[in-house]
Amino acid sequence: MTRRFVIFGSVLFLCVSLAWPPLLQGQHSKTEDMTKEIQSMPLLAGLSKADIQDIQKICKLKEYPAGTALIRKGQKLDRLYLILTGRGEVRLKDRTIPFGKDSLLGEVEFADPVSAVADVFLVSACEVVEIEYAALDRLMRSRPKMGLTIMRNLASILSRKIQGMSR
């Protein structure tokens, strides 16, 4: 009986040690991609490496299939969405606005906690980084300098969007 367990354990160890590294490499590259994307977010411009590492701890990487309704008009949002890969559309009453890689969604509702102002659909499969408002708010309150930088960046992002809409 003991010999079977030793043989089984050895075979199991061999299988895991052969299969595990590629799995870790795949996950590692996704984590690296997420880190690069987070570092390049205009919302986080000017933050220290330590600040960005702390923000990364509250990020969740999710995958959504094409056709997903990511946000519904009137929905109470509780998170920011950063599109890493894929494409989608913001659907307003009178027009449709396409978006893709590096787009930030949910920022209006983060700045002013109102219900979502538009429907957002994914037209292709997407990888999305999600940051819960409450977790980001707690982090910003505990680090006022970080919070001020993020809010200034958010004001700039919203200002550019308004300017783009008026053209």
DSSP states of 99-127 as a string? E-TT-EESHHHHHS----SSEEEESS-EE
Phi, psi of 115 (to 5 degrees): -70, 155
Say which residue, 20 or 41, is predicted with more confidence: 41
How far apart, in whole angstroms, are the C-alpha atoms of residue 91 and residue 53? 33
At 85-96, the pLDDT tens digits run 999 999 999 999
- Ramachandran region, residue 86 (left: φ > 0; alpha: ψ -120 to 50; beta: rest): left
Instruction: Sketch out the chain's domains with CATH numbers.
Output: 35-165 (2.60.120.10)
Is this prediction's pTM over 0.85? Answer: no
How far apart, in whole angstroms, are the C-alpha atoms of residue 153 and residue 159? 10
Range 51-77 average pLDDT: 96
At 30-55, the pLDDT tens digits run 667 677 778 888 889 999 999 999 99
